[in-house]
């Protein structure tokens, strides 16, 4: 019998719903306009994240490709070099992931733009970025030496460990960005289906 499933489900779903009040729509607008600009100018959009954030990035890059954008995932063998005027979308809840920060710095040296998706404005990633899209999330593990204090205060570990809340919220945010882009560039589901993979591994 599942004991914590429903409670965890509600914790994650409610966090995503409440996150909408913390997300700044002007940041979303800037991000969407930048992606649209890359699309219309046929510039490359390179997406990067590590671990589960990387999986979120892959899903976003796939949908951008379905829209007809020149999107790539950093680290893949077929990903081309970044050039002046391209865009790197860097995803890191903490904004301190070394690989992601290093890639953002390298992209800036090549005169590409960097869009950071993170929970921390004061992070190294946010500081190097041209634009930041704030996505709330619990990205830090609670300190072990605070365990007893947390127990006394009735503060318990969440049922969504590590970066789950950031990753799940970022996924929804980026899917909503895709919906906005569909309308702005005049694409529909049929258009996207034409660019969906039709040679797949069974």
Which domains occur in the chain, in start order?
Answer: 8-192 (3.40.50.10490)
Residue spans of beta strands (DSSP E) within 21-173:
44-49, 70-73, 87-91, 113-118, 131-134
What pLDDT is recorded for position 168? 96
Across residues 46-59, what is the average pLDDT?
A: 97
With a CB cutoff of 8 Å and minimum separation 6, the contacts of 176 are none
- CA 192, distance to chain mean position in Å, is 21
CA 11 to chain centre: 20
Look at residues 192, 194, 180 and name the one whose alpha carbon lies nearest to residue 63.
192
* Residue bearing tokens 């920060």: 101
Residues labelled catalytic: 167
190 pLDDT more than 80: yes
Average per-residue pLDDT in the chain? 90
Residues 62-111 pLDDT 10s: 999 999 999 999 999 999 999 999 999 999 999 999 999 999 999 999 99
Q: Which residue reads 């570990």 in tokens? A: 157
Tell me the pTM.
0.88
- Least confident interval from 35-44, 142-151, 163-172: 142-151
Write out pLDDT tens, residues 9-42: 999 999 999 999 999 999 999 999 999 999 999 9
- pLDDT: which is higher, 124 or 1: 124
Band (pLDDT 50/70/90 cuts) for residue 163 is: confident
Of 10-19, 82-91, 141-150, 163-172, which gets the smallest average pLDDT?
A: 141-150
Q: What is the pLDDT of residue 194?
A: 77
At 92 the pLDDT is: 96
Q: Exposure pattern of 44-82 as b/e (b: 16+ CB <10 Å)? A: bbbbbbbebbbebbebbbbbbbbbebbbbbbeeeebeeb
The pLDDT assigned to 144 comes to 45
């Amino acid at each position: 019998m599942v004991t914590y499933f429903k409670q965890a489900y509600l914790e994650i779903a409610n966090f995503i719903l409440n996150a909408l009040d913390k997300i700044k729509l002007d940041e979303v607008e800037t991000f969407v306009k930048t992606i649209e600009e890359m699309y219309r100018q046929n510039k490359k959009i390179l997406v990067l994240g590590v671990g589960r954030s990387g999986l979120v990035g892959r899903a976003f890059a796939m949908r951008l490709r379905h829209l007809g954008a020149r999107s790539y995932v950093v680290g893949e063998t077929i990903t081309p070099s970044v050039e002046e005027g391209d865009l790197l979308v860097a995803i890191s809840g903490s904004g301190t992931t070394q690989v992601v920060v290093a890639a953002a710095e390298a992209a800036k040296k090549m005169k590409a733009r960097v869009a950071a998706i993170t929970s921390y404005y004061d992070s190294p990633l946010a500081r190097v970025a041209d634009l930041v899209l704030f996505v709330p999330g619990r990205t830090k593990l609670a300190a072990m030496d605070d365990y007893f204090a947390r127990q006394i205060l009735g503060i318990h570990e969440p049922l969504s460990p590590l970066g789950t809340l950031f990753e799940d919220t970022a996924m929804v945010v980026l899917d909503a960005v895709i919906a906005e882009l569909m309308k702005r560039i005049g694409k529909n589901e049929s258009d996207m289906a034409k660019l969906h993979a039709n040679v797949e591994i069974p």
